[in-house]
Amino acid sequence: MDLDVVFLGTGGSVPTARRATACLLVRAGGDRILIDCGEGAQRQMQRSTGLVQVDDLYITHFHADHYLGVPGLLKTYGLNGREAPLRILGPPGLKELFVGLRRITGNLPYPVELVELSGAAPVRYDTYEIRPFEVSHSVRAFGYALVEDERSGRFDPEMAERLGVKPGPDFARLQAGESVNGVEPSQVVGEARPGRKVVITGDTEPCELALVAAHEAELLVHEASFGDEEAQRAHETKHSTARQAAKLARDADVKLLALVHISSRYHVGAVLEEAREEFPGAIAPRDYDVVEIPFPERGEPRLIDRGAKQRSQTEAAEAATRSEPAT
């Protein structure tokens, strides 16, 4: 399964010319999952990935910079003729929020399902699940951990042949856990391999549940609203400093830390340096950056600068080529 995260909005509570408010697109195989939908989210898509028909939309909490883009996105989907259902998930209070939002969106031509999460029960997909976890913010708020299923161990075809198993259906049976002509799967299949994990905290001060959820994650996306000099204000408003986010990433033994929601009062590079004193590999993605998360045996997570725009331009060029008449 291909897995990456598109950073559509990486700014703080106030959008700037360079950074929009909170919005991430997770592309997991064929699934398209939006985490938060800040002001202008659909415009951010149109400038990069195209107006993605997301399958699910998760909202971390009900501060305006995390959901103001929802009415416009839903309305545009309707105007574009969407028919597929859309599921929107979030903390308790989601349904009450949408009583007000429906005055803006009106009647939509596609089904919208609202799911209020408990903060414990995972949401199941084909080969992974999304686990909500409660974080510590000024309102009730959830983070989300995408946790891939455990994968079967590596199959050794050469060993299987040495043991007398012929290539073809018998190989498939061994990989499925069946014995073949006295050969046991354990003789030719290695130990099960853990799946990948991507954790997105939303707004929070450092907290135990985030630490537990992020344990050994390939990617942790953590807010970093403040620098060191405003640690007290971070505590009062239940946000994190960049250094605190980095310490949590270090303690959770994550592979890559991506800092978002940095206040526009700061120079991002200066705040990032504070984080790197605790977690040297920390990054601060910009809007339209992409982090690809390959299987561990294929390499480490990597940042692709402006990756969403690059892919969009490539796909547009390919589409233009396909539309050209043959000569």
CB 112 within 8 A of CB 70: no
CA dihedral 192, 151, 6, 108 (to 10 degrees): -140
Q: How many residues does the chain have?
A: 327
CA–CA dist 72, 101 (Å, integer): 10
CA–CA dist 27, 36 (Å, integer): 14
Beta bridge partner(s), residue 136: 205
CA atoms in the 13 A half-sphere facing the CB of 235: 5
CA–CA dist 90, 98 (Å, integer): 11
| Residue 208: φ, ψ to 5° | -65, -40
Long-range CB contacts (within 8 A, 24+) of 299-307 = 300/255, 300/256, 301/218, 301/219, 301/255, 301/256, 303/256, 303/258, 307/4, 307/6
Chain Cα centroid distance, residue 265:
26
Tell me how crowded residue 68 is: count the other CB atoms within 10 A of its CB: 18
The active-site residue, picked from 56, 65, 287, 289, is 65
Concerning whether 170 is annotated as a catalytic residue, the answer is no
Q: Which residue has the tokens 């308790």?
A: 92
Of 9, 10, 39, nearest in space to 271 by CA: 10
- What is the DSSP pairing of strand 128-134 with strand 123-124? antiparallel
Active site residues: 65
